[in-house]
């Protein structure tokens, strides 16, 4: 099952972890079939203040900058009607379902319109949520999009090579494995989170 790492602000991570937020709204969606696994990266807020509880008992987060959990996205629903400025004038069962999905995302009408900026959005359904006892580091995951993968530091290019399976032109030799590399070692560990989401693989 292909996986995705998604960046989410601390406020929304708290609502997801509590079970109140069961929909994540995004402007784009992965080009893969559901279900797929999503790793939750909790972003760092722009504050030097530590996590604390205010006078009213609300927990305020500054963000851990780590992967705090995972869920399975078992369905993605396009949100067409509710992203328009005149959505109050729309009627019908489909529109009511979309309004319910926005509510499940813990969003208000104003928040959705500010985020959407006139674009249609997608409702990612959250299921099989798992919050880790110990958050994981970004470096435990690798970019899985081939266009974004760079050549790993252990590979050396060889223009003329013979192997047990025959002649290789413009092949790569892996110094780490002491063998010919056919692409499996060129994954690059993540060093910074995606702005929204990206395809990832777990590094063993």
User: Residue 167: what pLDDT?
Assistant: 45
Cα 70 versus chain centre, distance: 10
User: Residue 156: what pLDDT?
Assistant: 61
User: Residue 151: what pLDDT?
Assistant: 45
Sheet of strand 3-8: strand arrangement: 23-26, 121-136, 66-79, 36-42, 3-8, 197-202, 141-143
* CA angle, residues 59, 110, 101, in degrees to nearest 5: 80
Closest CA to 136 of 9, 39, 15: 39
The two most distant CA atoms of the chain are separated, in Å, by: 72
Closest CA to 80 of 70, 90, 72: 90
The torsion region of residue 58 among left (phi > 0), alpha (psi -120 to 50) and beta comes to beta
User: Residue 110: what pLDDT?
Assistant: 80
Q: For 48-65, write each residue's pLDDT tens digit.
A: 455 555 556 555 556 889
List of the chain residues with pLDDT < 70 = 1, 45-62, 83-95, 144-187, 203-204
User: Residue 56: what pLDDT?
Assistant: 60
User: Residue 176: what pLDDT?
Assistant: 61
Does the N-terminal peptide bond of residue 117 adopt cis geometry, omega within 30 degrees of 0? no
C-alpha dihedral sign at 105, 108, 112, 114: negative
User: Residue 134: what pLDDT?
Assistant: 95
């Amino acid at each position: 099952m292909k996986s995705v790492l998604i960046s989410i602000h601390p406020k929304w991570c708290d609502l997801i972890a509590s079970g109140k937020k069961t929909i994540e709204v995004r402007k784009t969606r992965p080009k893969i079939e559901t279900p797929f696994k999503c790793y939750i990266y909790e972003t760092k807020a722009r504050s030097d203040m530590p996590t604390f509880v205010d006078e009213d008992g609300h927990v305020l987060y500054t963000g851990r900058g780590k992967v705090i959990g995972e869920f399975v996205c078992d369905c993605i629903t396009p949100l067409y009607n509710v992203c328009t400025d005149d959505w109050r004038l729309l009627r019908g069962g489909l529109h009511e379902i979309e309004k319910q999905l926005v509510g499940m995302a813990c969003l208000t009408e104003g928040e959705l319109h500010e985020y959407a900026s006139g674009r249609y959005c997608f409702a990612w359904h959250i299921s099989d949520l798992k919050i880790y006892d110990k958050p994981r580091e970004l470096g435990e995951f690798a970019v899985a999009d081939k266009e974004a993968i760079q050549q790993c530091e252990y590979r050396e290019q060889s223009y003329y090579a013979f192997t047990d399976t025959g002649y290789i032109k413009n092949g790569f030799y892996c110094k780490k494995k002491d063998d010919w590399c056919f692409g499996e070692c060129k994954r690059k560990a993540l060093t910074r989170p995606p702005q929204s989401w990206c395809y990832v693989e777990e590094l063993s």
